[in-house]
Amino acid sequence: MTHPTPTLAHPRAFHPRRLHLLSAALLLAVAPAASAQSAAQTISGGTAVTAALKTGADVNTAQANLIKAQAASRAAQADPATLVAGKLNAKNAETLAQATLRGAKLGAIQNAIGAYNALLEAQENVELQTLQTQVDQKAVQVAQVKLGIGNATALDVQNAQNTLSGSQQTLADARAQVNLAAAKLGTLSGLGSSVRAGSVITAPKLGATLSGLQGNLSALSSLVSAAGDLSSAQLTVKLADNDFTPARTLQDARTALANAQRSADTAGRNAQQALASAYQNAQNAAELLSVAHSREAAAQKTYTQDAARLKSGTISAVELQSTQLTLKKAQFSRLQAQNNVTEALAALSVAAGQNLTGLGGTL
């Protein structure tokens, strides 16, 4: 969650009646949301990931397939009637099932993080749009007062009202997006559609180097599958390379081996390229987060200064509310940047075949 935005400093010292009415409006706007939140189940990002790993269909299917492949491989290795090719294929199937399970878990982590972040942003966007609507409501009131004393036109009031109508529609849409995001996260985690996101996920610093990750891609299911096909093709050539096997059979086996080698090489290049792209994205996300933090700090400083100016009587409460909205927007942008970092790490985890998110434990 973003840090709470400071409230106006000593508002009653300046415009007690107007600010009292504004405070009452704020309480009325916030109360229903607070009541709804209390009825919901608030979870952390870690809880969402753990639940997704436990209940995810892809993970459970991959787990069942691994158990089946392990049993088949044990039986093949222990059966004296099973030939060497059958033993190798069974072992390759087991190894691929292990890689597939790992990939399914990494995919579940990525999906859960994405869904959790989407819900958190939707919730925070409701707060942002609520404040935007309050600012626009005040703008309408100001325009109406100015119209009454001849300092604004009817068109000015109409324009302010149109802006308010747009903000109210955006707020309504933002509230609807919370329900949609909650339903998606609830489906992925098995926790139901009443879930609400708690605090922002704290992403670990990316400590692994690109070269280090590139040297450990062999556990990716695509590479395991290609390696299994290659080893099977190599064995086929070995079994056909003798005096009692037709030359055409050996030639076909060698052609198949060449094809398998090309496929393995292509899979390796694709994995390297995907990893390099994901790694660059993770680095970029971290850099953009630093920029977002700086902008938030600047907005916070401006708000603090304007709060002091309000106290000294050099600006109005309306002007401070505008500064408050700017700060809220900066906080929301920082939240999005934080979420982008965790999502980039999740994508990098999928590309690298290892968990770099800090969530979900050892796979």
pLDDT, tens digit, 9 for 90 and up, residues 198-229: 999 999 999 999 999 999 999 999 999 999 99
Q: What percentage of the chain has pLDDT greater than the value 70? A: 89
Does residue 8 have a pLDDT over 60? no
Where b means 16+ CB within 10 Å and e means fewer, 263-279 reads ebeebbeebeebbeebb
Does residue 119 have a pLDDT over 70? yes
Contact between 101 and 59 (Cβ < 8 Å):
yes
From residue 183, alpha-carbon distances to 33, 69, 169, 177 in Å are: 18, 35, 22, 10
Q: What is the pLDDT of residues 38-52, one digit of tens each?
A: 467 999 999 999 999
Q: Write down the mean pLDDT value for the chain.
A: 91
pLDDT value at residue 39: 64
CA gap 276, 289 in Å, rounded: 20
Does residue 16 have a pLDDT over 90? no
From residue 177, alpha-carbon distances to 119, 125, 212, 256, 257 in Å are: 8, 9, 40, 52, 52
Handedness of CA 162, 163, 164, 165 (dihedral sign): positive
CA gap 150, 254 in Å, rounded: 92
In the block, residue with structure tokens 């809880």: 47
Does residue 336 have a pLDDT over 90? yes
Which residues partner with 43 through β-bridges? 197
Structure tokens at 279: 């790694």
Give phi and psi for 195, each to the nearest 5: -65, 150
Contact between 309 and 315 (Cβ < 8 Å):
yes
What is the 8-class DSSP label of residue 1? -
Structure tokens at 25: 């409006």
The CB density around residue 256, as the number of other CB atoms within 10 Å, is 16
pLDDT value at residue 280: 98
* 3-class SS shares of the chain: helix, strand, coil, % to 5: 80, 0, 20
CA gap 64, 323 in Å, rounded: 56
Lowest mean pLDDT among 27-31, 184-188, 272-276, 359-363: 27-31
Mean pLDDT, residues 272-300 taken together: 98
Does residue 306 have a pLDDT over 70? yes
Which residues partner with 41 through β-bridges? 195
